[in-house]
Each structure stands twice: as C-alpha cells, then as structure tokens.
Structure 1
Amino acid sequence: MTEPKPLRADARRNRERVLSAAAEVFSEHGTGASTEQVAKAAGVGVGTVFRHFPTKEALLESVLRQLVREFADEAASLADAENPGAAFYELLRRWITMAAKKNAYSDALAAAGAPAPRPELKTGLGVRGGLRTLLERAQSAGAVRADIGLGELLPVIVGASRAVDQVPEGALRERVVEVLLDGLRPGRRAPEGAPAASA
C-alpha cells in the first residue's frame, strides 16, 4: 500500500484553515452546523472543504482527533508544573471541558451511523502518562487524596464530563465541576470495604 502524497504548502494551509474554522463553528453553533458555515468561516469555497474532508463525518472526526491531540499536549506541558496540585486540578477542569466537547462529536458521529474514532495510540498513552505523573506529584504534595489511582480517576472524569453536559455553560457549570473535584481532595474517606487505589 503506497503512502499518500504529502500535501502542497497551499493545500496544507487550506486544510489547517478549514480544520480551525470547523472547531470554532462547531463550538459556537454545535455539531449540527453545516459545511457551508465552516467554508464561510474559513474563507474558502465549500468544494475546498470537501476536497480535504469528503463528508461532514470525516470533518467531525478530524476535529475530534485534533481536540484530543491538543489536550495531550496540554497534559504534557503541565506534568512538570512547579505547583503540581494546582496544575492537577487545572488539567482536570480542562479535561472535563474537552471531554464534554468530545462527547458532542462522538454523539453526532453515532447519530450519523459513524463510529467515534479511537484515539491514536501515541496520543492516548501521552494523556494517561501525563495524568499519572501529575496525579502522583499532586498526591506527594498533599493536594489529592492518597487512595485514588488512575483506575478510579479516569471513570470519575468520564462521569463528570457527562454531568456537565446537563448544565449550561457559566457559573453553575463551574460550580458543578468544583463540587465533583472536591471529592478528590484530602480528607475524603473511601467507602468502607472499598478496594485500594489502582494504577
């Protein structure tokens, strides 16, 4: 199987412009926004959009992958933060926000009969590795309860992202996130008979 030819510089710029515009349009108007809206925001013809993304589902998938890659970069950048506790909670706030957006893309793809893409292996490992490092550093600093491992933390984040889907953006959503994160702070006791933290 032959490798796809690399895009010319102008074609690559157009693709990046479309992808960036799509992320903004879908964020502002929801995943139901049309490819025509994306083309207008990108300053290109709709034919250019379809040249790079043959279907709207392909565009949604590409925006979703880009969203996860950008978050992986954020996780890596915070892993060595000077204040690991503050960095840990900031990363979780960003993750919950990102995951809520990711849910919207995944739901739109599912409604169109297209499976949500699995994260690229390198990206997925990067996110988990960055989160594990930051969790352990935050626990060592006394900012996170010691009986939580990555095995418990990941489902908490997934559940939190679905919970904030039910709340409009604004002060109330921020309050809901803080309430959810409060359960990770020191002084919270695990239920009687709960298993030990898992990595």
Structure 2
Amino acid sequence: MAKDAPRPLRADAQRNREKILAAAVRVFTEDGLDAHLERVAREAGVGTATLYRNFPTREALVEAAYRNEVAQLCEVVPALLAAHPPYEALRAWTRLFMDYATAKMGMIDALRALSASGGNPHAHSRDMIEAAVTTLMEACGAAGQIRSDIGPADMFAALAGIALTSARPEQREQAERLLDLVLDGLRADPAPPSGS
C-alpha cells in the first residue's frame, strides 16, 4: 500500500459513513441551508463525534453527500442491465435519475453555498452521468430497441430539461409522464397509436 494512501474503512465505519451520507441528503433536502448537523447525526443513528470525524465541516458533508448520490446513480447501471432487458433498464434508470434530481434540487441551496465558498461539487458529475446514459443507450442500440439518430447527449439534455421543470416531489407524476414521452420517442419501433 502506498505511504499516503488512505487506509480502507472498517466495515462498521463504512456503514456509519453510508448512513451519514443518506441522512445528510434527506436532511439537506428537507431543510436546505438551515439543516442542523446534529439532526443528520441523529437520523443516521451516530454521535456527532462520528459525523465530524468523517466530515469535519458542513461543506465536506454536502460535497460528499452529493458525490455519493451521483456515484450511486451511475454505479447501478451494470446491475440494471444484468436484471432487465436494455430498454427496461434504461426506463428504470430514468426513474432513479429523477430521484437523484429531486435530491439535488432539495440540496440546491447547500450546493450553491458550497460552490460560493470555492468548492466544486459538480466536478465530474456530468461526465459520470453521461457515461451511464451512454452505456444504457449502447446496450439498447445493440439490442435494436432504440433509434440510432438520438445520442446520449440528446438523452441527457432531455433528462436535464425534465429535471429542471418537474423534479419537485409533488411533480413526480408529471415527471414520469414526461420520461415516458421521451422514452416512447426513443423507441426504434414505436407502438402504433391505440385504435389502429
């Protein structure tokens, strides 16, 4: 192991870290900048000392929580493709994307504050998400399930547009209708209109 490489976390320490990150997303989504870190610790079921040992500042916690959301969204792609036909994997992933977008919107004030203080929580997130979309679309294309004239950048733009207009929790039904509209338009052989 390299001299400066961080030591891997023990299993219990890793579980605590994951619980803290999940709780942070919930709390920052609900309370924005007014979120109390003590509440994050309480909801994670850990002491404040454990929280601060893992994330010494509010900024470190916000950035780690956001990056964890992006990583989870992107890392699920192989499992979705292993469990579902490509088009259904893409459809399922778009719902996870909306979960991510809803959490991001809830955390937007905290993310803006982090950016204003010189942090860059968005570094690499767009590239990671585009890579996930690319993997899913390539699998769909190889299976002949989607049109060949629509690329990952187009799909990412459509998803981002839906997220901008419909990512609030109370807009979830609308978001899912819009996702279905986009996905139906992406099909290689769209279903004929009913009554045909």
Q: Shorter-chain TM-score: what band? A: 0.7 to 0.9
Alpha-carbon spacing, 1:116–1:101, altered in 2? closer, same or farther (3 Å): farther
Q: 1:144-159 residue pairs with structure 2 within 5 A?
A: 144-159=146-161
Equivalent residue number for residue 68 of structure 1: 70
One-letter code aligned to 2:87:
G
Alpha-carbon spacing, 1:94–1:15, altered in 2? closer, same or farther (3 Å): closer
Equivalent residue number for residue 117 of structure 1: 121
Equivalent residue number for residue 160 of structure 1: 162
1:85·1:138 contact (CA, 8 Å) conserved in 2? Answer: yes
Identity of aligned residues (%): 35
- 1:68 Cα offset (Å): 1.2
Partners in 2 of 1:46 and 1:136 — Cα distance? 45
Residues 154-195 of structure 1, C-alpha deviation per residue, up to 9 Å, x if partnerless?
22222221121357244334323333444323478xxxxxxx
Equivalent residue number for residue 91 of structure 1: 93
Alpha-carbon spacing, 1:61–1:152, altered in 2? closer, same or farther (3 Å): same
Partners in 1 of 2:95 and 2:15 — Cα distance? 31
Equivalent residue number for residue 51 of structure 1: 53
Partners in 1 of 2:183 and 2:42 — Cα distance? 39
Alpha-carbon spacing, 1:119–1:16, altered in 2? closer, same or farther (3 Å): same
Partners in 2 of 1:4 and 1:141 — Cα distance? 42
Partners in 2 of 1:5 and 1:137 — Cα distance? 36
Residues 37-64 of structure 1, C-alpha deviation per residue, up to 9 Å, x if partnerless?
1111123332332222122221111111
Structure 1 unaligned spans of 5+: 189-199
> What is the TM-score normalised by the length of structure 1?
0.72
Q: 1:1-199 residue pairs with structure 2 within 5 A?
A: 2-4=4-6, 7=9, 11-27=13-29, 29-32=30-33, 33-112=35-114, 113-114=116-117, 115-119=119-123, 124=127, 127-165=129-167, 168-186=170-188
Q: Which has the higher helix share?
A: 2
One-letter code aligned to 1:38:
V
Structure 2 unaligned spans of 5+: 191-196
Return 58-67 or 171-180, whichever deviates more: 171-180
One-letter code aligned to 2:74:
A
Partners in 2 of 1:141 and 1:44 — Cα distance? 46
> What is the TM-score normalised by the length of structure 2?
0.73
Alpha-carbon spacing, 1:18–1:124, altered in 2? closer, same or farther (3 Å): same
